[in-house]
Structure 1
Amino acid sequence: MRTVSLPFLQAVFAQQTAEAPIVLVTIEHADIATPVRVVNYDQSVVSNGETFVAYPFELTLPTEPEHGPPRATVKIDNVHRDIVASIRNASGGAPTVTLAVALASSPDTIEASFSGFDLKNVSYDALTIEGELTLDSLGGEPYPAGRFRPGAFPGLF
């Protein structure tokens, strides 16, 4: 269960409010010198000392496919072409994406954070950049993860 602040709950459930929930997106990779930070708001936002540039984007929540892990999509407007250049420089693995939710009036208070997404199947054109956000599938992991051996568990033998 996730705990969020009372002002956030009031803003989300109010019929009318001056508060705006915002989503902060960070795209990182070893080959990207400066992480890409964008926010779905009408102006740039500083959150915990990091500047998130105002870029319109759409975030589609994860679906639950029959086979494979859930997948979400993100579509960012390709206004300045900086994001495409950064993603093109990322070779040797997918960039990682972190999503954080906050209120525009208090961007330092992160209400919810979701990290560990890989940005895959990226496509772009003159207007937008679109990609899938995936998590590593646990289906390929061995089960059980450990083995009971005398060296690791001497009390059992």
Structure 2
Amino acid sequence: MPNTYTSAGRRNLLATSADEPFLVLLEIQHPELDDPVRVVNDTVNITARGNEYVACPFELVLPDDVAEQVPKAQLRVDNIGRELTQWLEYSRGGKGAKCRIIHALRSDPDVFEYDMTLDMSGISIDNLAVTADLGFQNTLMLPAVAVRYDPKTTPGAY
């Protein structure tokens, strides 16, 4: 999935030693959350497009762009505080959650250089971290009907 970068973003992306590295912003959305959880992988909070992103360390492996394969990413957020843990318990493991990955420059945080929303699955939590797999649900491989008539489900019809 191609992204269109600004000229400043392209310079930053192609530089071996960038003057200003990209900030990675995350928005975790869930039907039971009033407002999305917004964090930035930095030591200082930032405001982008009118929303405050709270500084929080996390590790993100971006989705790959391999032909004929569903993009997959991995997220690991340090388990600091109880907010994320309480939300996971309240939302029954975060089923149905989505994660929006954003790259922006600190000099112009309102311009999103990279923006992708992925489904969250495989969410697990321990004393040190919350981990999740990010990707798209493969709806093309889901069955079209709830019950299919074949020798296994209806042996008397065959």
TM-score range, shorter chain: 0.7 to 0.9
Root mean square deviation, CA, Å: 2.6
Matched with 2:106 is 104
- What aligned pairs does 1:42-81 form with structure 2 within 5 A after superposition? 42-62=43-63, 69-81=70-82
- Tell me the TM-score normalised to structure 1 length: 0.78
After superposition, the Cα gap between the structure-2 partners of 1:7 and 1:70, relative to the gap in structure 1 and judged at 3 Å, is closer
Contact 1:68 1:137 in 2 (8 A): no
Q: CA deviation at 1:79?
A: 1.2
Q: CA deviation at 1:97?
A: 1.0
What SS does structure 2 have at the residue aligned with 1:107?
Answer: strand
Q: Deviations over 1:49-71 (max 9, x none)?
A: 11111111111133589x97332
Matched with 1:21 is 22
Contact 2:95 2:121 in 1 (8 A): no
What fraction of aligned residue pairs are identical, expressed as a percent?
28
Q: Deviations over 1:15-54 (max 9, x none)?
A: 4343120111101111122311111112111110111111
- Give the Cα–Cα distance (whole angstroms) in 2 for the partners of residues 15 and 61 of structure 1: 19
**Amino acid in structure 2 at the alignment position of 1:87:** L
Give the count of matched residue pairs: 141
What SS does structure 1 have at the residue aligned with 2:20?
Answer: coil
**Amino acid in structure 2 at the alignment position of 1:75:** R
Contact 2:31 2:96 in 1 (8 A): no
List runs of 5+ in structure 2 lacking aligned partners: 145-158
- Tell me the TM-score normalised to structure 2 length: 0.77
- Give the Cα–Cα distance (whole angstroms) in 2 for the partners of residues 125 and 51 of structure 1: 27
Contact 2:23 2:42 in 1 (8 A): yes
